[in-house]
Structure 1
Amino acid sequence: MADKFSKLRENMSQEARDKAELKAQSMLEEMPLHELRKARGLSQKVLAEVLHVQQPAIAKIEKRTDMYISTLRSHIEAMGGKLEVQASFPEGTVKISNFSELGREVNG
């Protein structure tokens, strides 16, 4: 029988635990849309119900590499998040404000 993760973790050196924690944080900072949905504990069916679409539409969105920002925003908001668009440069990061109200003018 395999050991519990907590027991294996106890046997790791502090350096190994720190390294594992950094790797985990790095993985959480960037992930595909379908993994984000799963990490939030949502099924495609539940997300489809929130967005008032059929489940295959969610599968299609999650496979896309190009989509409207408003589509992505709706998807993220249905998961309980907030979409922010930012540009990264060697000097720093800039939040792009053009998209903060996109889609709200039509709905709001």
Structure 2
Amino acid sequence: MTRAFRELTAQLPPETQVRARARAEAMLAEMPLQTLRQARGLSQQQLAERLHVRQPAIAKLEKRTDMYLSTLRSHIEALGGELEVVARFPDGAVKIASFTELTPSDSGLTS
């Protein structure tokens, strides 16, 4: 007899349900690029096509621990998202505006 996961969790004590929900939310809030890509329903090949690179470049990028913010921004945008850089301190968080994309007028360039 197969039972739905929702049915099983409904039988757990309320405090256990709260802890499980909090842990699931924490796991979803932080994930490696590979897991994020998979959660967005894209293969490495599909993402490579969106970024106009070859699939091995995506595999290599997903293993990196250090990269340019512009590379990460392109990757996130190809997944349909928007990258924000946030600094977190004990007394609050601050979104760093220095990394937002410059428009031609902001950079002193003309179009």
1:1-108 to 2 correspondences below 5 Å: 3-101=3-101
Inter-partner Cα distance in structure 1 for 2:4 and 2:101 = 47
Looking at both structures, which has the greater relative contact order when contacts are Cα pairs under 8 Å and sequence separation is at least 6? 1
- Matches of 2:32 and 2:93, distance apart in 1: 21
Partner of 2:98, secondary structure, is: coil
- What is the distance in 2 between the residues matched to 1:75 and 1:7? 37
Structure 1 Cα separation of the partners of residues 55 and 33 of structure 2: 15
Aligned counterparts of 2:11 and 2:88: Cα–Cα separation in 1: 39
Q: Hey, what's the Cα distance between the residues in 2 that align with 1:58 and 1:85?
A: 22
- What is the CA-CA distance between 1:11 and the residue it aligns to? 1.5
Can you give the 5+ residue segments of structure 1 that lack an aligned partner in the other structure? none
* Structure 2 alignment gaps of length 5 or more: none
Report deviation, 1:55.
Answer: 0.6
What's the C-alpha RMSD, in Å, of the aligned pairs? 1.9
Larger CA Rg, structure 1 vs 2: 2
TM-score when normalising by structure 2: 0.85
- AA at the equivalent of 1:36: L
Aligned-partner SS, 1:67: coil
Q: Deviations over 1:29-67 (max 9, x none)?
A: 111111111111111111111111111100001000111
Q: Alignment identity in percent?
A: 59
Structure 1 runs of 4+ with >6 Å offset: none
